[in-house]
Every structure is written in C-alpha cells, then in structure tokens.
Amino acid sequence: MNSKRYLLRNAMIALASVSAVAGTGAHAADEARQPSTLFLHLDTNHDGYVSRTEAANARGIDRAFADADDNGDGRLSVDEFLKAESIQQRRQMAEYATDSVITAKVKAVLLKELEMKAFDVSVETRRGRVLLSGLVDDPRQARRAAQIASTVHGVERVENALKQK
C-alpha cells in the first residue's frame, strides 16, 4: 500500500510540476512578445492595438491590415501586427523580384537592338515603372528605347530620361 501511495504522490507531484512549467513557459512566451518600435509608433492612443486609421500611417501595413486582422475587430494586436508586418515584407520581396525580372527583360531586349549600346543605358524598375537613363547617339534612339521597353510584359509605364551625347 505504501508503494501505491508513494507512486500516486510522485505522479501528482510530477503532473503539478509539468503544469507549472507549461504555464510558466506560456506566460514567458507571451511576455517575450514585445511590441515592435513601429507598433508603438503607430499606436497613438496607447491602447495596445493598432486601428485601421493608425495603420494608414505606415505604407504596406495598411494594405496587409485585413489579412492580418484574424478576429475581424478592426484593430491589430501585437501578434496580428507582427503578421501584418510579415505579409507586407513578403509583398515587398515579391514586388522587388518582379521589378528585377522586368529590369532584366528590358536590358535583354535593348541588348538585342544593334543600335543600342546597353552599357550607355541604365534601366531601373519600381512597381512596374521603368526609368531609362544614360546617353544615346540621337533622339530617335531614345524614342526607340522607350518603345522597346514599353513592350516588355509587366512594364506599366516608361519614363525616358535618355540624353543625347
């Protein structure tokens, strides 16, 4: 009998220890999630949440707001804000990758043109808008470069800042 009591007592102690450790771990994890500097900056009323109006002051977060607002209460908790930041960063990276592909394609088609010296023409892309800069031999080449760039898939607009040598 003593051995059964001993085993039961030790099992209860072990269970209590596991519960205490699990509770402490969860509590410590919650405490470890401190608001980011951006969260604190946007939370102008200091209520511990970022509202849609407050999020409008951060480009990208406002676009990710609906996707991150898991409970649909119209405000982001620290965890939801972290999710919004992650969504925004993924979108930025996708946008950057897309712009890089567009730049590469524009450069490739300009290289194919025999009249174009690609090293004289710089191509930059931001959100599908292509900026051509550098030097060309004549205005006709500048117009042709812009025309060629505008045919590349993904180009929304071409800004031609090419100058004649």
Q: What is the tens place of the pLDDT at every residue in 114-146?
A: 566 656 789 999 999 999 999 888 888 889 999
Instruction: Note the pTM of the prediction, 2 decimals.
Output: 0.59
Domains of the chain: 94-164 (3.30.1340.30)
What are the tens digits of pLDDT across the range 92-105?
Answer: 888 888 999 999 99
Q: How far is 145 from 141, CA to CA, in rounded Å?
A: 6
Dihedrals φ, ψ of 66, to 5°?
-60, -40
Amino acid identity of residue 29, one-letter, is: A
Q: Which helix (H) or strand (E) is 128 found in, with range?
A: none
Parallel/antiparallel/unpaired status of strands 75-76 and 121-126? unpaired
Alpha helices in 33-123 (DSSP H): 37-42, 52-55, 61-68, 78-112
